[in-house]
Structure 1
Amino acid sequence: MAKTSRQKILFIDDIPALCEEMVDTLRGEHLDAESNLSPLDAIPKVVQGDYDLVITGLVIAELGGFDIIRRIRGAGCRVPIIMVTGFGTEQSAIEAARLGVADYLTKPIERKELVARVRRVLVEHAPAVPERPKSLARMISGDAKMNAIFEKVKTIAPTESRVLILGETGCGKQLLAHAIHQQSKRSKEPYVEVNCAAIPANLLESELFGHEEGAFTGASKRRVGRFETAGKGTIFLDEIGELSFDLQSKLLHVLDSGKFTRVGGNNDLKSHARLVSATNRDLSKEVAQGRFRADLYYRLNVISIELPPLRERPGDIGILAQHFMNQFVTDGRQPPTFTTSAVDMMKVYPWPGNVRELQNFAEQLAVLHQGPRIEVTDLPSRIVQHALGVPHASPTESAERIPFRKAKDQFEKEYLLKVIQDANGNLAEGARLADMDRGQFYRLAKRHGLTTNSDL
């Protein structure tokens, strides 16, 4: 079913008059609402993503409200759900909270209150508004710093100048190097990439410059090195800060003379390749501490580009997460979208693994998540707990020692306690800070023993 720009609401109940009244109320406030008298007919439509919000009664002859929620959640659908009942009890409110309903309303409900609650839930669970990213080769970004880098690359790529890319591990140095090649006049020539940290030091010289037959034990035939393979194209030396002093000297010779010799050979070969290099180290400090040759550093650092870590460009988090999600969902279904609240929480997390960590996170969700939206409750505990200031237990402690239900209750209690402390013990203010319905907040606080009689 094609989605419109308006958010669609479904009310499920078996009382025709109530369905008509509910739909009329919501449509009267310019909300796109409809009803269904049959839960068994409604659930498949909800699961396939036809609606942005579900409102259900509690007592329905065909299938009760809690069973409706269980079936929807059991199918992997995370659509927000509001429960409306005239038979509200403390136990039913606790069960609704346990099942993750977005709100719980008891009759009678004033028209304005209903509409306000519905609008609040729609806003909280709305898909994040995609920013308009700019692209460079395989890179995309909506961040001003990154866009400035893209423009810089477009300027320097057509030149012959060497480029040194600086930045933390996982922030996109490889992609940027490839983009420089693609934007250059050498784009139709070979692009050769070497990770200097991934090859043992005793083999790296042969990898770079090649070797002759019999040059060393195991050299049964001539090997063409990466500089030779690159021809008139681009050679990218990643993690160049890991080169040994001996190899630094030999690379310096190539940069000065344009010549190199295969290991065990006597004939000089000419390098015509453009060099782009990258490192996650501060090479100026490495030079000062005697671990990197100053003359090589200055020859590499003709033009430098420093890629900011992901935590310094939070506007890219939602863009990249959705981009990766769209790439990884390959089974024909519509890729799930991240809600605004989920993206906001993701922006608080520091992403120590940078874009690579975000990519792995998106791939995991693409495989495991089947619903149309990704909510805060779908995010890994490390992201949620960091955003809430809750210490994150190690995977061994959380998975092996604490059952899921107990871990969930513990997290819920710690969250409520922190909010109540921030509100100086005022539960009404705590509900406001948590952006929760006051009644729901009170019930959860009471369940965890965080209230007194005077609070109620």
Structure 2
Amino acid sequence: MDGTVLIADDDRTIRTVLTQALTRAGCRVHATGSLGQLLKWVEEGRGDLVITDVMMPDGNGIDTIPAIRKLRPDLPVIVISAQNTIVTAIRATEAEAFDYLPKPFDLPDLMTRSGEALARRPKLRRPEAEPAPMVSDPTLPLIGQAPAMQVLFRMVARVLNADLAVIIAGEPGAGKTTVAHSFHDFSDRKGQGVAILTSADPGEEAIRQAGLRARGGTLLIEDPASFEPAAQARLIGFIESWESGSDRAHAPRLISTTGPEPQNDVAQGRLRADLYYRLAGVTLTVPPLRARVDDIPPLARHLLARAAEQGLPQRSLSEGAMALVRAYAFPGNIRELENLMRRLALTAAGAEITASEVEAILAQGAPAFALAGQGRSTAQPVAEPALSRAVIRSPEPGASPLSQSVEMHLQRYFDLHGDQLPPPGLYDRIMQEVERPLLELALDATGGNQLKCADLLGINRNTLRKKLTELNIEVTRRRKLM
């Protein structure tokens, strides 16, 4: 890798890590904690690549990109940000940043993208116009640093203003409707009308009126597979008239929400194929909450804060309470998480929600709720790596043998990276993520007796001790509760 990289980040540790990594890769590096200094370097003609944070003491990194582009049209900019929301991804794309990565980022991934930016920088073109600043909506619950959510954010940003119909697929409660509204609220159609069409509005007049309200704007179609066949036929007729009529320049953009497998709806006759292909210009999938467990804590805090803004008591989650929330499977996805946070805000005895209060409400709502390590005392935080949660705690009814379930979740992990390979070290990471819950559950089952635990696992005691030390698993001898 060859070139000069300009780094702007107010975190000294990040500046040091990036400087060392890029220097080892053969680059020259200038690092600063000031956007003002960054712009001075750019104006002086320094640098072949910029890596900038968003929230800086003297401004916003994304807002600085137009100034950089004006000074140096071919200078690529990579944005890194701890603000892992769809708004950040959209704004970075609209500003024509070369790429966007959420914090905490994977260093090898950032190095790969830096190499690509340095290699392609002569091919970048100057944007025709500077994008209008976008106001972040603090009520928008599209938060996510999980790879699946970042893939979704990037795809939304890429097709936001494209003249394409979009299907947003996913499980109930995953946030499909919120994503659908984002296509209107953040697009260049946001000044025009928006209308929602559901199976409760199947008549010809209802469809006509929805089209008129959405003229030049956006028509949101909720679950078209639930429409009666006659209603689907009527909708096809209106779509054809909008696309071919004299007013086609003001035809509404079609954004539809469906279940996780819209093609299955077609195959099983619930959704007409000719309607599906008119709606599926591009299909985006909103991942279920169980596939983005690391996003549960920030989502929970966000939803508690929003509940407080709506008049409910201000609450926070204790460490033990957050561990239980994070470990819960949430079959109802974000909708269920929001319901849980509102109930806790209403019923908690104090300002800090306790683990026992979380457990009581979860037990009321789902008597057979699955928690990783549910034999543990609720006073202890639940240590749960992401893959072990997906493999161990979320079996579907009638699940296939364990090896097939593991294969399914590993395949999903690979799929989340698209055309890219996962970060190096995959074998050790997966082995540790499966090994930790296995050892913890075995210790629980044997009451902390290491000799019995080693015998149960079929390994010798020294091997067990070594693994417990490597994984920093604390062992407490206790009577097994029946």
TM-score between both structures, scaled by the size of structure 1: 0.50
Contact 2:446 2:452 (8 Å CA) reproduced: no
2:206 equivalent in structure 1: 208
Provide the residue aligned with 1:371 in structure 2: 350
The answer to whether the 8 A contact 2:290-2:330 is kept is yes
1:178 and 2:191 are equivalent in the alignment? no
CA drift of 1:248 comes to 1.6
Q: In 2 relative to 1, CA 244–181 (structure 1 residues): closer, same or farther, beyond 3 Å?
A: same
SS at match of 2:271: coil
Computing the radius of gyration from Cα coordinates, the structure with the larger value is: 1
Aligned partner of residue 152 in structure 1, secondary structure: helix
Give 2:155's match in structure 1, choosing from 152, 155, 173.
152
Question: Which of 352, 375, 385 does residue 331 from structure 2 map onto?
Answer: 352
Q: Out of 164, 175, 190, which is 1:187 matched to?
A: 190
Q: Once the two structures are superposed, what CA deviation does each residue of 1:391-436 show, in whole Å capped at 9, x if it has no partner? A: 9xxxxxxxxxxxxxxxxxxxxxxxxx9965344767998xx99969
Change (3 A) 1:156 1:357: same
| Cα 1:388–1:206 shift into 2, 3 Å | same
**Offset of residue 269 of structure 1:** 8.7
Shift of 1:286: 2.2
TM, length-normalised to structure 2: 0.48
Task: Give 1:156 deviation, angstroms.
Answer: 0.8
Is the 1:253–1:260 contact (alpha carbons within 8 Å) kept by the matching residues of 2? no
CA distance in 1: counterparts of 2:342 and 2:191, whole angstroms: 32
Aligned residue for 2:211?
227
Q: State whether residues 193 and 214 of structure 2, in contact with CA within 8 Å, keep that contact through their aligned partners in structure 1.
A: yes
Structure-to-structure mapping, 1:33-432, within 5 angstroms: 132-136=83-87, 137=137, 138=140, 139-196=142-199, 199=200, 204-206=202-204, 208-210=206-208, 225-258=209-242, 272-280=251-259, 282-330=261-309, 335-381=314-360, 383=362, 386-387=370-371, 420-423=444-447
| Amino acid corresponding to residue 164 of structure 1 in structure 2 | I
Task: Please tell me whether the aligned partners of residues 167 and 279 of structure 1 are also in contact (alpha carbons under 8 angstroms).
Answer: yes
SS in 1 for 2:370: helix
SS of the residue 1:165 aligns to: strand
Q: Tell me how far 1:134 sits from its aligned partner.
A: 2.3
Deviations 1:237-270 (A, max 9, x none): 1111111221222222222231799xxxxxx997
Contact 1:169 1:353 in 2 (8 A): yes
Write the distance in 2 (CA, Å) between the matches of 1:207 and 1:171: 31
Taking only the aligned residue pairs, the percentage that are identical comes to 26
CA contact (8 A) 2:84 2:143 kept: yes
Report the secondary structure of 1:236's partner residue: strand
1:325 is paired with a residue of what secondary structure? helix
**Which AA in structure 2 matches 1:208?**
A
Q: Distance in 2 between matches of 1:390 and 1:321?
A: 21
For 2:293 and 2:194, the matched residues in 1 are separated by: 31
User: Contact 1:420 / 1:426 at 8 angstroms: preserved in 2?
Assistant: no
User: In 1, Cα distance between the equivalents of 2:212 and 2:310?
Assistant: 42
The structure-2 alpha-carbon separation of the partners of 1:380 and 1:305, relative to structure 1 and needing over 3 Å to count, comes to: same
Superposed displacement of residue 330, structure 1:
4.5
The number of residue pairs the alignment matches comes to 263
Contact 1:190 1:233 in 2 (8 A): yes
Matches of 1:227 and 1:235, distance apart in 2: 7
Amino acid corresponding to residue 188 of structure 1 in structure 2: G
Distance 1:260-1:155 versus aligned 2 partners, 3 A rule: closer
C-alpha offsets along residues 307-327 of structure 1, whole Å, 9 cap, x if unaligned?
000111001111111101011
Residue 221 (structure 1) aligns with: none
**For residue 215 of structure 2, what is the amino acid of its counterpart?**
G
Structure 2 residues without counterparts, runs of 5 or longer? 1-81, 88-136, 364-368, 376-440, 454-467
Q: Contact 2:266 / 2:272 at 8 angstroms: preserved in 1?
A: yes
Report if aligned partners of 1:310, 1:355 keep a CA contact under 8 Å in 2: yes
